[in-house]
Amino acid sequence: MSILKNKKVLIPLVLLILGAGAAYSMAKPKPVNKDKVKGTIYQLPKSFLLNLADGRYGKVTVALILAPGQSDGELAGASPPSGEESIGTLPEEALVREIVTNAITGQNGATLVSTQGRHNIQRQILTAITRQTDIKVEAVLFPDLTVQ
C-alpha cells in the first residue's frame, strides 16, 4: 500500500515540475539580435586605378555603409549590359566616384599603406560625400587596396 501512496504523491509532483519548466521556457525573454552593421553595405562595382604622388599607383575598391533606409537604387535602375563594367545603381554614383578619385589621386603611397593615413582619407571622402550629395553614408571602406 505504501508504494501506491508514494506514486499518488510522486506523479503530481513530477507533473508540477514539468509544468513549471515549460512555463519558464515560454516566459523567458528571447535573445535580442543586434546587427553589427545597421545599414546596407554598397560596394562600388568598378575599382579605382589612380596615380599617386610618389610615382606609384594605387588600386582601390571602395564600399559605403549606407544609412538605414538609404536606397542603393538597385530596384530602380536597369541592369548594366552584360560583359561591360560600368557604374552601379547608387544614385549620384558618378559624383561619389569623382570625390574618391580627387581624395586619393596625388596621395603618397605610404599614406595609403598606413592605417592612420587610410582612416584620414576615408574621413575626407565621407565628409565630401555628406556635403556634396544627398546620399546618406555612415562610413567609407576600402575592402581591397594595392599600392605599387
Q: Using the predicted structure, report yes or no on whether residue 84 has a pLDDT greater than 60.
A: no
Summarised one tens digit per residue, pLDDT across range 32-52 is 667 777 888 999 999 999 999
> Which pLDDT band holds residue 87 (cuts at 50, 70, 90)?
low
Name residue, grid cell 500500500: 1
Distance CA 144, CA 46 (A): 12
List the CATH number of the domain containing 76: 3.30.479.30
> Which pLDDT band holds residue 27 (cuts at 50, 70, 90)?
confident
Task: Look at residue 80 and tell me if it is in a domain.
Answer: yes
> Which pLDDT band holds residue 134 (cuts at 50, 70, 90)?
very high
Number of domains present in the structure of the chain = 1
**Nearest residue to 80 via CA among 69, 88, 72, 68:** 88
Task: Look at residue 86 and tell me if it is in a domain.
Answer: yes
Res 77: pLDDT: 47
* pTM, two decimal places: 0.70
The answer to whether 85 touches 60, Cβ cutoff 8 Å, is no
Strands 137-147 and 57-66: antiparallel
Helix axes 93-104, 115-132, angle to 10 degrees: 140
Summarised one tens digit per residue, pLDDT across range 93-124 is 999 999 999 999 989 999 999 999 999 999 99
Task: Look at residue 32 and tell me if it is in a domain.
Answer: no
Boundaries of domain holding 117: 40-147
Q: Average pLDDT in the 17-34 region?
A: 72
Task: Look at residue 93 and tell me if it is in a domain.
Answer: yes
